[in-house]
Amino acid sequence: MEKERNNILKKIRMSPVQIIPASFFIAILMGTLILMLPVSSAGGAGTDFLTALFTATTSICVTGLVVVDTYAHWSLFGQIVILILIQIGGLGMIAIAFTIMLLTRRKFSLTDRMLLRDAFNLNTNNKILDFLVKVLKGTFLVEGIGAILYSFVFIPEFGVKKGLWSAIFNSVSAFCNAGMDVLGNNSLGNYSDNPIVMTVTTTLIILGGIGFVVWFDVMERVKEGVHKRFLPSNVIKRLSEHTKLVLSFTLFLLLSGTLFFFILEYNNPGTIGGMSFGGKLVNSFFESVTLRTAGFTTFPQENMTKASCIVAYAFMFIGGSPIGTAGGIKTTTFFLLILNVRSYLKNQDDKVIFSHRVSEESMRKASAIVFVSAGAVILLTIILLVVNPVPMEDALYEVVSACGTVGLSRGLTSSLGALGRITIIAAMYLGRIGPISLVALFSRNSADSNKIKYSEGVFYVG
């Protein structure tokens, strides 16, 4: 059986980086077919292909943009299917497949381990199965705690059955940064002043967005600190350079975003203008968090000022951190781009973060991701404007949100025509697998071309 599977992989000649986007595509098609069934819709009449495809894509890609209300259009069965798709999308198709292999006690080949390594975007095969187990345990533990805390609000409001289901759905959706809910037609607008819902949601989004590697590094260092009685400052010093970068830059983005939205929306009656001072501060922080690819909202995005929209574009484009459930180009990628510019301006050969040099391969990858992602956003925005003429700020907001798997919209999604919906579907898929992965899906290994060395030319730049 093992030989047959390896032979199939050799015949189709797909590398792990090509298998991953292909697996998401297959999962989207399967989800679409199930959601088209009459049993999946609340009315029992079935759902058209494009609506089902859009919903399956937004679920698998943990985006959150919807063309029909999740709570109203879909039956309980349909909502369960959507939640399963969100969970699969959050953890990744490959991780789910390997979880099934673990449960059935299948043996893992070197090819399997390489595939799982690439699915998590790690640099080594070392203890990769242990890493998967820790990810699964951590995910279900955090989602479970989140559901319990939500239930204290939703059960008294909706009753035991609907309240418990709403708590579970919201917890998984928040942790996976999906932004979908079954509460009503205005996301979390009714809970903008509820401390439990606001705190639990932001915590789940942040935990899902900072990445599993950061989780495990922090837990290991804290355990070590408690055991050896280190001071907190010593525990922080012993964190990996990746963890320090993710935590510090994430904190900077969250606080700066809060400040931006607090100032720019302070007197806007359509957003936070009518709230108390504390409410304005809390909801500004929530907006800063949810733009880092969650998709929940406490006020209509179309009511934001144009200045706030520009800030939102940037935050959605950056997204969360690697090896987590968030989308976007990632915090580390954006920081490396800034570091590259800074190093050039200071005429420094080495790019150093926390006393560690960044490899040239990492710098090249970061530049490629930013350039290709920005190009994809521009191209898809142009296409959307052509096939579905709308105000440019709304079209750009929709595309950046889709490509960053954010799920926020300025009220545009449900009004899109067929071609507009197909454009956003493509944007969501591209955002989930990454533009670089899509290029690799259709590319061949060109390592041989690197053996050819050319003489250096003279080019004038700037």
Look at residue 91 and tell me whether its pLDDT is greater than 70: yes
CB atoms under 10 Å from CB of 439, counted, come to: 13
User: What pLDDT is stored for residue 82 in this prediction?
Assistant: 96
Structure-block tokens of residue 370: 């930013």
Q: What is the mean pLDDT of residues 207-222?
A: 90
Structure-block tokens of residue 178: 């999906």
Look at residue 364 and tell me whether its pLDDT is greater than 80: yes
> DSSP 3-state assignment of 353?
strand
Between CA 118 and CA 116 the distance in angstroms is: 5
Nearest C-alpha neighbor of 305 from the set 261, 344, 346, 275: 261
Residue 311 corresponds to which amino acid?
V
Between CA 327 and CA 92 the distance in angstroms is: 12
CB atoms under 10 Å from CB of 419, counted, come to: 12
Structure-block tokens of residue 431: 């955002």
Q: What counts of helices (H) and strands (E) characterise the chain? A: 20, 2
* Residues whose CB is less than 8 angstroms from the CB of residue 24 and which lie 6 or more positions away in sequence, other chains included: 60, 61, 89, 93, 429, 432, 433
Rg (CA), the chain: 22
Tell me how far CA of residue 320 lies from CA of 177, 189, 405, in angstroms.
9, 23, 10
Structure-block tokens of residue 125: 């095969």
> Sorting pLDDT into bands at 50, 70 and 90, what band is 124?
low
Look at residue 438 and tell me whether its pLDDT is greater than 60: no
> Sorting pLDDT into bands at 50, 70 and 90, what band is 437?
low
Task: Specify the residue for token string 């929306």.
Answer: 265
Q: For residues 277 and 341, which has the higher predicted lDDT (pLDDT)?
A: 277
CB atoms under 10 Å from CB of 248, counted, come to: 14
Helices (H), 346-441: 360-387, 392-403, 418-433, 435-441
* Residues whose CB is less than 8 angstroms from the CB of residue 109 and which lie 6 or more positions away in sequence, other chains included: 2, 6
* Residues whose CB is less than 8 angstroms from the CB of residue 84 and which lie 6 or more positions away in sequence, other chains included: none
Between CA 321 and CA 249 the distance in angstroms is: 10
Structure-block tokens of residue 315: 């935050």
Between CA 187 and CA 205 the distance in angstroms is: 15
Look at residue 123 and tell me whether its pLDDT is greater than 70: no
Q: For residues 184 and 305, which has the higher predicted lDDT (pLDDT)?
A: 305
User: What pLDDT is stored for residue 327 in this prediction?
Assistant: 86
User: What pLDDT is stored for residue 4 in this prediction?
Assistant: 52
Nearest C-alpha neighbor of 216 from the set 228, 226, 206, 207: 207
User: What pLDDT is stored for residue 102 in this prediction?
Assistant: 67
Tell me how far CA of residue 138 lies from CA of 85, 96, 108, in angstroms.
19, 14, 22
What does the pLDDT look like over 156-171, one tens digit per residue? 999 999 999 999 999 9
pTM score above 0.85: yes
Mean confidence (pLDDT) of the chain: 86
User: What pLDDT is stored for residue 263 in this prediction?
Assistant: 96
- Strand partners for 357: 352
Q: Could you tell me if 56 and 31 are in contact, meaning their C-beta atoms sit under 8 angstroms apart?
A: yes
What does the pLDDT look like over 169-207, one tens digit per residue? 999 999 999 989 999 888 899 999 999 999 999 999 999
Q: What DSSP designation does 176 have?
A: T
What does the pLDDT look like over 38-87, one tens digit per residue? 999 998 888 999 999 999 999 999 998 999 999 999 999 999 999 999 99
Nearest C-alpha neighbor of 244 from the set 120, 112, 129, 354: 354
User: What pLDDT is stored for residue 136 in this prediction?
Assistant: 87
Look at residue 448 and tell me whether its pLDDT is greater than 60: no
What does the pLDDT look like over 398-435, one tens digit per residue? 999 999 999 999 999 989 999 999 999 999 999 888 76
Nearest C-alpha neighbor of 176 from the set 100, 256, 90, 289: 90
User: What pLDDT is stored for residue 445 in this prediction?
Assistant: 52
Q: Could you tell me if 138 and 215 are in contact, meaning their C-beta atoms sit under 8 angstroms apart?
A: yes
User: What pLDDT is stored for residue 9 in this prediction?
Assistant: 45
Look at residue 142 and tell me whether its pLDDT is greater than 70: yes
> How far is C-alpha 161 from the geometric centre of its chain's CA atoms?
29
Q: What is the DSSP string of 314-345?
A: HHHHH-S-SSSS--SS-HHHHHHHHHHHHHHH
Nearest C-alpha neighbor of 410 from the set 279, 327, 306: 306
User: What pLDDT is stored for residue 227 in this prediction?
Assistant: 87
Q: Could you tell me if 318 and 429 are in contact, meaning their C-beta atoms sit under 8 angstroms apart?
A: no
* Residues whose CB is less than 8 angstroms from the CB of residue 314 and which lie 6 or more positions away in sequence, other chains included: none
**What percent of the chain has a predicted confidence (pLDDT) above 70?**
85
Q: Could you tell me if 158 and 188 are in contact, meaning their C-beta atoms sit under 8 angstroms apart?
A: no
Q: Could you tell me if 208 and 325 are in contact, meaning their C-beta atoms sit under 8 angstroms apart?
A: yes
